[in-house]
Amino acid sequence: MPLSRSSESELGWVAPEQIADFAATGTTLHRLFSGPGGWVERQGRDLLISWNSPETLRSLLAEIEIRRRELPLPIDRVFLRKRWERETSPKLLLLSGNPTLPMATTAKENGLSFRIRFDTGESTGFFLDQRANRSFLRARRPTRLLNLFAYTCSFGVAAASAGAQTWNVDLSPRTLEWGKENYRLNALDPRDHWFLARDARDALPYLLRRKLRFDAFVIDPPTFAHGRGGKDFSLPRDLGSLIEGLLPLCEPNALLLLSTNYQPWRSADLFREAVRACSRAGVNVEPLPPLPRPVDLPEGTGPATLWLRIKP
């Protein structure tokens, strides 16, 4: 399998100039390689390989060794996410490096720090394919953000670093604690922000009763998740009512990010759901122009995302 960069497909290794650009913006969280067999991410001083098949792994590892010698990257360890055994082996495997190094580390995106953990399952706590959206949100300097399905609160940190008050909602108290740690890593006091461990659908009436209003929203849900008391979440079924539920919480001209990894859906599907939900409520919605694709994410990778403006 060819592992070198192909200009037509943009698969291959990220160029050394691009790595220098990441360094210049204080970013150590980015992809290094994308190919048909999987991809390699730099997560601080470690590499995380997400690979589809054991057969082609050996040639990738040989290529990584060559690149590590060529590129001035300080890399301590290489971890593997076996995508061919996802059901049976959700843990990351340490392929090389010192096994006594801490499994919790810190890595950076645009100067912001995030706690990365290699021992909590197949996710390390950070989705680097949302970099452009976090950056856009931060540049907009919102006053109040409602971050639904917050996970480790990376969107909350991005908005709070630009002065926003932030509300992070997630079913998992454990990931919200992780989120608070991310705030502290950036000298943001979590006591000045809100972390609600509850179902995103239940958070909306709760916030409405408290007469809160927001000028920015993030909805980045899983495709499907088990909820409390058998209340499952299904993106194709529930996204529309979730959007409808947040409309009474909107300041005029509020920004809304919709994002999904649900494979059949593209941004047009997200827009359709938003238009339906808004028209049921008699509210206008306008799509914002798509953000430029990051240099380390080839066409067709990453979630489908869409920024919208909710009109009064």
Ligand X SMILES: C[S@@+](CC[C@H](N)C(=O)[O-])C[C@H]1O[C@@H](n2cnc3c(N)ncnc32)[C@H](O)[C@@H]1O
**Contact flag: residue 105 with ligand X (CB under 6 A):** no
Widest distance between CA atoms in the chain:
59
Residue of 149, 214, 262, 265 that binds ligand X (CB under 6 A)? 149
Residue closer to ligand X by CB (options 159, 169) is 169
Please state at what angle helix 267-280 crosses helix 235-246, rounded to 10 degrees: 50
**Contact flag: residue 112 with ligand X (CB under 6 A):** no
Looking at residue 223, the DSSP 8-state letter turns out to be: S
Distances, alpha carbon 2 to alpha carbons 63, 176, 258, 263, in Å: 10, 41, 35, 26
Give the residue among 206, 195, 135 at the shortest CA–CA distance from 165.
195
CB of 263 to ligand X, least distance (A): 14
**Contact flag: residue 225 with ligand X (CB under 6 A):** yes
Q: How far apart are the first and last CA of the chain?
A: 53
**Contact flag: residue 33 with ligand X (CB under 6 A):** no
> How many residues make contact with ligand X (CB under 6 A)?
21
Distances, alpha carbon 77 to alpha carbons 16, 37, 40, 44, 167, in Å: 20, 21, 13, 10, 35
Residue of 32, 159, 171, 250 that binds ligand X (CB under 6 A)? 171
**Contact flag: residue 129 with ligand X (CB under 6 A):** no
Residue of 27, 34, 130, 305 that binds ligand X (CB under 6 A)? 130
Residue of 105, 113, 154, 168 that binds ligand X (CB under 6 A)? 154
Residue of 181, 220, 244, 296 that binds ligand X (CB under 6 A)? 220
3-state SS assignment for residue 297: coil
**Contact flag: residue 200 with ligand X (CB under 6 A):** yes
**Contact flag: residue 277 with ligand X (CB under 6 A):** no
Distance from CA of residue 225 to its chain's centroid?
17
CB of 238 to ligand X, least distance (A): 8
Sign of CA dihedral 154, 157, 161, 164: positive
Of the candidate spans 18-26, 52-60, 219-227, 284-292, the one that interacts with ligand X by CB under 6 A turns out to be 219-227
**Contact flag: residue 227 with ligand X (CB under 6 A):** yes
**Contact flag: residue 151 with ligand X (CB under 6 A):** yes
The residue ranges of DSSP E strands in 149-288, in sequence order, are: 165-170, 194-197, 214-219, 224-225, 233-234, 250-260, 284-287
**Contact flag: residue 175 with ligand X (CB under 6 A):** yes
Residue closer to ligand X by CB (options 74, 230) is 230
CB 31 within 8 A of CB 296: yes
Q: Catalog residues that contact ligand X under the rule CB under 6 A.
A: 127, 130, 149-152, 154-155, 169-172, 175, 199-200, 220-222, 225, 227, 233
